C-alpha cells in the first residue's frame, strides 16, 4: 500500500507541502463535489459556481452558499487535518488547500494558502471591497455602495489571484515532499501543481479513496481515507 515507504519519506523531509481537496473534509461531514453524494450530483456547477450564474440569479447562488455555510459552521477538523497541523511541530509545513471551509486553520495549521478563496469572506462586485463575514445565513447581499456581495471564492473561468499562485509555486519549490490529499485532480490550475512538483523532481505522495488522473505518475499512491492514512504516515 505504500504506507511504510511514505512514512520514511516524510520522516526525512525538512519541508512538506500539501495540496488538499474536498476529500480531506469529507470525514468532517462536508460533501465533496464529484463522486457519490457529491455536490455536483444534485446541482449543475455551471448553474452555481460561475460568474454568469451569479449574474443571472444571485439569490439562487447565495442559497447554495448559505446551505454550505450551515454545514461548514458546525464542522470540526478530523484526524487528517489534525495530523497535518501536528506535523508543524517538527518541520516546515505549507498547505495549499482548494477547500473554502477553513478547517486547516481551525485544526491549528499556520501556513495555509486558500487557493480557491474562503466561504467566510464576501466581495462586492462593484467596488471590489472584501470583508470577513461569518453570518449563517448572510443577512443582506447588498454592499454599502449598492453593489451585490458575492462569496470571495474562485469560480470556473476566473483566474487564481496572482499572489496566491506565486505563493503556491514557491511552496512547491521549497518542499522536499508534496502530499496530494483528497482531490480528484481534474480542476486546473490546482491539479497542475502536482505535475509541477514532479517536474521539479520532488517526491509526490497521493492519498485518496480512489484512483485519479495523477495516481500513475506520482511516487506513491495510497488508497484510503485521509483521516486514517495521514496519522499513520505523519509521525511526530
Using rule CB under 5 A, residue 31 touches Zn ion: no
Alpha-carbon distance of 58 to 53, in angstroms, equals 7
The rounded distance, in Å, linking the Cα atoms of 194 and 181 is 11
Nearer to Zn ion, 126 or 199 (CB): 126
Where are the strands (E) in the chain, listed by range?
Answer: 15-20, 92-97, 112-114, 117-124, 130-132, 149-153, 177-181, 203-208, 220-223
Count of residues binding Zn ion (CB under 5 A)?
Answer: 6
Told to judge if 116 belongs to the known catalytic residues of this protein, a careful annotator would answer: yes
State the number of binding residues for ligand BJW (CB under 6 A).
35
In the shown chain, the binding pattern of residues 87 to 126 toward Zn ion, with x for contact by CB under 5 A and - for none, equals: -------------------------------------x-x
* 210 touches, from ligand BJW, Zn ion, none (C-beta below 5 to 8 Å by class): ligand BJW
Largest interatomic CA distance in the chain: 57
Is 138 among the residues that bind ligand BJW (CB under 6 A)?
no
Residues within window 156-175 making contact with ligand BJW, judged by CB under 6 A: 156-159
Using the minimum distance from each CB to Zn ion, give the nearer residue, 83 or 143.
143
Is residue 84 involved in binding Zn ion (CB under 5 A)?
no
Distance from C-alpha of 185 to C-alpha of 165, rounded to nearest angstrom: 17
Contact status: 186 vs ligand BJW (CB under 6 A): yes
Q: Enumerate long-range contacts of 190-196, CB under 8 Å, 24 or more apart.
A: 190/19, 190/21, 190/96, 190/98, 190/115, 190/116, 193/19, 193/96, 193/168, 194/19, 194/218, 196/169, 196/172
> Looking at beta carbons, which residue is closest to ligand BJW?
23
Q: Does 35 bind ligand BJW (CB under 6 A)?
A: yes
Residue with cell 488538499: 20
Point out the catalytic residue in the list 81, 116, 121, 202: 116
Q: Which residues are catalytic?
A: 116
Footprint on this chain of Zn ion (rule: CB under 5 A)? 124, 126-127, 143, 145, 147
Amino acid at each position: 500500500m505504500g504506507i511504510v515507504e511514505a512514512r520514511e519519506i516524510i520522516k526525512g523531509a525538512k519541508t512538506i507541502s500539501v495540496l488538499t481537496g474536498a476529500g480531506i473534509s469529507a470525514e468532517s461531514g462536508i460533501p465533496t463535489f464529484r463522486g457519490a453524494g457529491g455536490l455536483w450530483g444534485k446541482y449543475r456547477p455551471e448553474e452555481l459556481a460561475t460568474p454568469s450564474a451569479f449574474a443571472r440569479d444571485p439569490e439562487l447562488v447565495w442559497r447554495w452558499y448559505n446551505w454550505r455555510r450551515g454545514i461548514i459552521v458546525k464542522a470540526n477538523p478530523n484526524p487528517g487535518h489534525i495530523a497535518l497541523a501536528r506535523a508543524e511541530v517538527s518541520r516546515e509545513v505549507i498547505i495549499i488547500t482548494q477547500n473554502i471551509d477553513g478547517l486547516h486553520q481551525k485544526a491549528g495549521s499556520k501556513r495555509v494558502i486558500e487557493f480557491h478563496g474562503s466561504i467566510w469572506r464576501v466581495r462586492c462586485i462593484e467596488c471590489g471591497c472584501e470583508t470577513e463575514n461569518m453570518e449563517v445565513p448572510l443577512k443582506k447581499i447588498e454592499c454599502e455602495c449598492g453593489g451585490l456581495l458575492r462569496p470571495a471564492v474562485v469560480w470556473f473561468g476566473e483566474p487564481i489571484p496572482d499572489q496566491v499562485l506565486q505563493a503556491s509555486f514557491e511552496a512547491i519549490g521549497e518542499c522536499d515532499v508534496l502530499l496530494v490529499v483528497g482531490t480528484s485532480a481534474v480542476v486546473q490550475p490546482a491539479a497542475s501543481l502536482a505535475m509541477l512538483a514532479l517536474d521539479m523532481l520532488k517526491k509526490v505522495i497521493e492519498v485518496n479513496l480512489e484512483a485519479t488522473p495523477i495516481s500513475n505518475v506520482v511516487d506513491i499512491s495510497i488508497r484510503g481515507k485521509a483521516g486514517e492514512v495521514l496519522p499513520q504516515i505523519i509521525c511526530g
